[in-house]
Amino acid sequence: MRIVLAALLALAAVQARAQPLPYQEHAMNLGVVNCANSLCHGSISRWKDSDILQNEYITWSRVDKHATRAYQALLTERSKRIARNLGLREPPEKAKLCLDCHAYDPPPELRGERFKVTDGVSCEACHGPAEHWIKSHVAPGATHEDNLAHGLYPTSNPVAQARLCLSCHFGNKDKFVTHRMMGAGHPRMSFELATFEQTEPPHFVIDDDWHRRKGSWDTARVWAIGQALAASQLLDVLLDPKRSHDGLFPELVVFDCHACHHPMSDKRWTPLSGVSPGRVRLNDSSLLMLRQIVRRMLPEADARSYDERLVALRRAVAGDGGDPLDAARAMRTLLDRVAGQLVTRSFLPADLRAMLAGMVQDGLDGDYHDYAGAEQATMAIAGLLDYLGRHGGLADFRGANDALDRVYDAVRDDEKFSPARFQAALDGLRKTVIR
Ligand code: HEC
Ligand code: HEC
Ligand code: HEC
Ligand code: HEC
């Protein structure tokens, strides 16, 4: 039974990778008004006898930045400046380049009468065009499987969810924030699935009936799969002949931003980086998180080949030996396998504790010397501590929180990041949490 279940879950992971994203579907988009009725998802307060909250629209429209900010951001002076600097012909709120991420932007023939692009990142941007599931999802006895069969996007599947969020929070082959756009004024992108899912804030509750209707959900697994997919998306840029270059230069967003953007007097190179001095380092922050995950959750042979491929990739990208495309391809193949395997794994408290200890140790060993790694490690450590705290796995809760605050302080400003200060904060955390 367990083997059959594992095989089914692995199959679901493969399907989730092939699943078209909402904007790739050929079905009509009806618009947010169709979801917002007070008897549907626009109730002011949560319904007691319903499986779902029914106030999703209220949460989304009042406090979710996808509604309150994503589109509005395009009307700001900053966006006008970005568009000017890029030489766009239209204003940003009309430019497909921007709307594809700052709103939901299906082609005109797939927009219903009441669809409004100004609604921002709307329900259908994540749950898929409603044409075929709007009726069936309220039919008596309708199941989640029925809804999925009618084209509801499987946000309940962690691989599908990670691909969805990352399609805008990192970009994919269809939409992408390049270094050129950042040079024009677009902010640096930073994302971690489990953390962002909590801060959105969620308009759903993962409880017993959720599990009954939709299967298992595990925040640690969501984090792990989010990292695997984020690393895959980065490698996809390296491997995509269209996106990997801009003129003579490689596309710079796949590298560590602060490898270039720091004063010359601030000497940062150490032999620990694994590449020779004066090289531009790959942004390997997700790959570093995954290293801990793979070590704990997968067989030893996988963990060994993961470590080898990571070293090979870093060196090849920096020009220290080996073909970078071969190295990226080898890692990319392994990541697909890792994501497939993670979908079937349960993360136990002992696993989380071991990953936390491993991450703190990696940090003390200097592995998060680059800001992007330190930033990802901080979000991961916060998530793991939160989980352990809620499940009674932390002896000194207040001490851990104080120590975590200092870790946060060390990554608050990427331009003032000091690896030494970050390590000192981690050491404080080690003393309170791991001992
Ligand atoms: C691949 C998706 C993507 C594309 C394309 C994109 N953005 Fe963004 N943009 C984002 C995300 C995600 C954020 C939030 C970044 C964060 O804070 O983590 C953001 C943030 C911003 C911000 C700052 C946020 C704010 O509330 O003020 C501005 C301004 C902005 N984008 C403007 C633009 C403009 C103008 C364009 C078109 C030239 C554009 N973006 C294209 C995804 C995208
Ligand atoms: C940024 C993406 C995103 C947007 C925008 C979004 N959702 Fe969701 N929604 C999710 C995710 C992720 C889940 C959790 C996984 C699941 O239950 O499928 C979810 C879950 C739900 C659930 C199921 C809760 C349960 O217990 O089964 C409902 C209902 C829902 N959303 C309605 C809406 C409505 C209505 C809107 C628009 C007002 C909306 N969502 C906008 C991502 C989004
Ligand atoms: C269609 C594109 C799109 C999709 C899909 C999307 N987002 Fe976003 N998201 C954005 C943009 C654009 C912003 C920036 C809003 C702003 O600050 O201007 C944003 C902002 C956010 C923020 C607020 C960040 C902050 O700095 O406060 C969170 C949290 C977030 N998204 C989580 C998610 C999660 C979780 C998912 C997947 C379930 C997701 N997003 C899917 C486009 C998207
Ligand atoms: C290989 C080195 C390199 C990397 C890596 C790199 N950049 Fe740059 N960046 C440059 C150069 C060169 C310029 C152009 C500087 C100029 O015009 O003065 C630039 C310009 C910029 C600018 C505009 C600054 C200005 O003065 O107009 C921003 C913002 C920026 N980069 C952000 C980023 C972010 C965010 C990342 C990481 C995702 C990144 N860069 C990665 C080399 C790099």
Residue 391 lies in a domain: yes
pLDDT at residue 3 greater than cutoff 70: no
> What Rg, from alpha-carbon coordinates, does the chain have?
22
Query: Do residues 412 and 270 both lie within one domain?
Result: yes
State the pLDDT confidence band at 270, using cuts at 50, 70 and 90. confident
Ligand 1 pocket, mutate which of 71, 98, 126, 186 (most atoms under 8 A from CB): 186
Atom number, ligand 1, closest to the C-alpha of residue 92 = 35
Q: Cβ distance 23 to 104 under 8 Å?
A: yes
What is the pLDDT, as a whole number, of residue 1?
47
Tens digits of residue pLDDT in 346-360: 899 899 999 999 999
Tens digits of residue pLDDT in 204-255: 999 999 999 999 888 999 999 999 999 999 999 999 999 999 888 899 999 9
Residue 353 lies in a domain: yes
Query: Do residues 113 and 229 both lie within one domain?
Result: no
Residue 41 DSSP SS3: coil
Strand-pairing partners, residue 245, are 250
Residue 352 lies in a domain: yes
Residue 211 lies in a domain: no
CA distance 171 to 232: 12
- Token pair of 127 as six digits: 């749950």
Name which residue sits closest to atom 16 of ligand 4, judged by CA.
Answer: 183
Among 119, 153, 187, residue at a domain's last position: 153
- Output b/e per residue, 290-301; b: 16+ Cβ within 10 A: bbbbbbbbbeee
What is the pLDDT, as a whole number, of residue 78?
98
Longest dimension (CA), the chain: 68
CA distance 63 to 200: 8
Which residues are within 8 A (CB) of 215 and not within 5 positions of it... i.e. 6 or more apart?
Answer: 156
What's the 169 CA to ligand 3 centre distance in angstroms? Answer: 7
Name which residue sits closest to atom 17 of ligand 1, judged by CA.
Answer: 189
Query: Do residues 109 and 237 both lie within one domain?
Result: no
Atom number, ligand 2, closest to the C-alpha of residue 66 = 5
Query: Do residues 239 and 350 both lie within one domain?
Result: yes
CA distance 194 to 301: 28
Name which residue sits closest to atom 37 of ligand 3, judged by CA.
Answer: 165
Domain count, the chain: 2
Query: Do residues 142 and 234 both lie within one domain?
Result: no
Residue 132 lies in a domain: yes
Residue-range definition of the domain harbouring residue 316 = 220-434
pLDDT at residue 144 greater than cutoff 70: yes
Query: Do residues 281 and 380 both lie within one domain?
Result: yes
Residue 263 lies in a domain: yes
Query: Do residues 148 and 233 both lie within one domain?
Result: no
- Cβ of residue 6 lying under 6 Å from some atom of ligand 1: no
Query: Do residues 244 and 354 both lie within one domain?
Result: yes
Q: Match 């940062």 to its residue by tokens.
A: 268
Among 153, 182, 198, residue at a domain's last position: 153
CA distance 47 to 293: 38
Which residues are within 8 A (CB) of 66 and not within 5 positions of it... i.e. 6 or more apart?
Answer: 60, 120, 121, 122, 125, 200
Residue 389 lies in a domain: yes
Query: Do residues 280 and 396 both lie within one domain?
Result: yes
Q: List the one residue out of 415, 376, 219, 218 whose CA is nearest residue 292.
A: 376
Query: Do residues 419 and 292 both lie within one domain?
Result: yes
Tens digits of residue pLDDT in 370-383: 999 999 999 999 99
Respond yes or no on whether the N-terminal peptide bond of residue 201 is cis (omega within 30° of 0): yes
Query: Do residues 249 and 386 both lie within one domain?
Result: yes
- Token pair of 319 as six digits: 């020009």
Tens digits of residue pLDDT in 15-56: 677 789 999 999 999 999 999 988 889 998 888 788 899 999
- Cβ of residue 292 lying under 6 Å from some atom of ligand 2: no
Ligand 4 pocket, mutate which of 85, 180, 191, 257 (most atoms under 8 A from CB): 257
Question: What percent of the chain clears pLDDT 70, i.e. is strictly above it?
Answer: 96
Among 153, 175, 207, residue at a domain's last position: 153
Residue 2 lies in a domain: no
